[in-house]
Structure 1
């Protein structure tokens, strides 16, 4: 049975992002995974405004973001096991996991990884610390 993965973000933290973390994420010079960035944009208008302003002056960072999105689409459309939507979800989850591996100061943004079957029934929920230890 093929399972799809998704990340459950820490909504409370995202809604009440500490100033230091917010400042670091505003001027972050690498790709922030779309799921995390979209949640930050939706919950914090100041972050959205300031990050957008930062990106207006950083073509190099924007280009990395566009490349990552294009690569994700290419991988999702060519996945032999999953339909493109499920594959995209797995890829986005993998990107978030890699992000917190590379930048552990942001690990608390993710609570857990949720595994679902083809009918979208939750099969298993793995806390992020446990998931990182296993992967």
Structure 2
């Protein structure tokens, strides 16, 4: 089976988000990938509260979030190579990589991409800058 790609987030940055980045991400007018959003929610109660208030009236953004989750589920269930869990992990990683490609100002939220085999052994770790150059 091919390798599974995991995203290693910059936990230190996510725990101590600069106030200007925090403010930008609270009123961010697009979908923030679930992995990044969940980490922000866990590490920053103020962010969680304010982002939730921002999203509450924003049916457009919430609808995009739900569509992305549905698409992720559909793709993972129909993946010809990976089991659904491994496929979902790869899809989430791809979503986060695409996010920092689209919004490079947030690239520092990701440290690296970790490749693991089916036994969860780390095969290689690729820094995000290097990964972005290759993909």
Q: Does 1:3 align with 2:3?
A: yes
Q: Distance in 2 between matches of 1:28 and 1:66?
A: 16
Q: Distance in 2 between matches of 1:32 and 1:104?
A: 13
The equivalent of 2:102 in structure 1 is: 102
For residues 95-135 of structure 1, give each alpha carbon's deviation from its aligned partner in whole angstroms, at most 9, with x where no partner exists: 00000000000000000000000000000000000000111
TM-score (norm 1): 0.99
> What does residue range 49-128 of structure 1 map to in structure 2 within 5 Å?
49-128=49-128
Q: Distance in 2 between matches of 1:56 and 1:94?
A: 27
Structure 1's consecutive aligned runs of 4 or more residues displaced over 4 angstroms after TM superposition are none
Instruction: Give the aligned length.
Output: 135
Q: Which runs of 5+ in 2 are unaligned?
A: none
Q: Secondary structure at the match of 1:7?
A: strand
For residues 6-36 of structure 1, give each alpha carbon's deviation from its aligned partner in whole angstroms, at most 9, with x where no partner exists: 1000000000000111011001111100000
The equivalent of 1:47 in structure 2 is: 47
Q: Secondary structure at the match of 1:82?
A: coil
Q: Which runs of 5+ in 1 are unaligned?
A: none
The equivalent of 2:12 in structure 1 is: 12
